Structure 1
Amino acid sequence: MERLQKILQKAGVASRRKAEDLIKAGRVKVNGEVVTVLGSKADFSDEIMVDNKKIKSENKVYYLLYKPEGYVSTTDDQYNRLTVVDLIPVEEKVFPIGRLDYNTSGALILTNDGDFANALMHPKFKLEKQYTVKVSGLVRKETSKLICRGVDLGNFKTQPAKIFDVKYDDKKENTTLTIVITEGKYHQVKRMFAKFDHDVLRLKRDRYGCVDLKGLNKGDYRRLKIHEVKKLWNLSENG
């Protein structure tokens, strides 16, 4: 017997948090009875239905997507905007691990493995995310050093970062650079540079842990190789 939200997660229905929302909304039935209490337990041998559709266990799958701008990192959107799931027409019910902003492009992993997703997103594991950033103004060495030491954003202080490949455009108006962080807070990179009066003009995530975008164009996706999945597990557990 397992918690119902974990069964929904394992079946690829939704992330654990989304599964909890489905339960609280009365959209889940176990053996014909609506279940709304979080923590209720069930088994895959039970008849479990979401929106009157029976769920079934799925093989675990792992995909890397080169997310374009103009897509939201969710499985559905209340404003009917295009989602990253629309770019991966697979049979399994996958969901994104973390998120990239609507106007941010780059590496995004989607899966139906809730335990894998939770491991990668857990803040204590400090999994590296590498971004190429274009910001307004000229980012000076002193500013880069301050950002790399950690920035107080009010509700939290960022972990140490790395900045390299700093370049200024021909008109000396904007800066392009690479930054590596180990967190994934809401709008974190944008907020870090905004702290020093630099607006982020373009943002792309080039690497997530050991996985990069090599060989992919915007909108392309591929299955992760077995050794990549294992290495991501190892990085999350030992990072």
Structure 2
Amino acid sequence: MRPCTVTIRRSVIADSPFPAGHSAPTRPVTGAFPALYAEDLCVFRGERLVLDGVSFQMEAGAAMLLTGPNGAGKSTLLRVLAGLRKPDSGQLLWHGESVFADRAAHASQVAYLGHQDALKPGLTVTENLALFARAGQGDMQEALEAMDLLPLANLPARLLSAGQKRRTALARVLLANAPLWLLDEPSLGLDTNAITLLGQALTAHRQQGGLVIATTHVPLPLENVQPLTLPGAGDSAASTFCQQEDDA
């Protein structure tokens, strides 16, 4: 598994290869792009600076763990990486192509797990998975087995516990058969056995060349992972890099 390298202004990063206050190396030449490349990503929410110059690159098989206080921008960064929210400045490339040039194409490369499980309560576990299934996606049986859901396959989601709902949402990630996994608190509500299953799924995905980026407040079963701690909210005046453009 190849490591990723990251840097962010106003952050705490273990063993960052870049000096504080400096951005990542210049954009690689054509043909030398990493799988995922972010440069100087800035995001504002109103006057509030949420992301302040985030830069990183990831090769196949790499994993990044996002930590930080509530409101630090972890979920916002995931949404940017998923192509759901365009940054106010900076660039984001997937295999050398802008994520925002063709959001639909990028969406097919992403399995996104939000903080909410987003299950239909009246549908069974299998029906919920089938609702999100697309041609060319993974095997339903394998996804159910991986998350130990076969005994629950025909139960409606409204009867599931919080942990069972989370496992169903994780099975949906497996079923997507997408190379980039973006996971917002994936271990939420999981017991020890389920966390072991999660760890096995993460390892298998990375061994096949997949990428994992996850937010968490607790340890996750990830090895050889690059930690990235977001420092919390700022403002445009406090940033020496990100400046919000005037509408005038």
Q: Based on CA coordinates, which of the two structures has the bigger radius of gyration? A: 1
Higher strand share: 1
> Which gives a bigger RCO, structure 1 or 2 (Cα 8 Å, sep 6+)?
2
TM-score above 0.5: no
> Normalising by the residue count of structure 2, what TM-score does the alignment of the two structures yield?
0.29
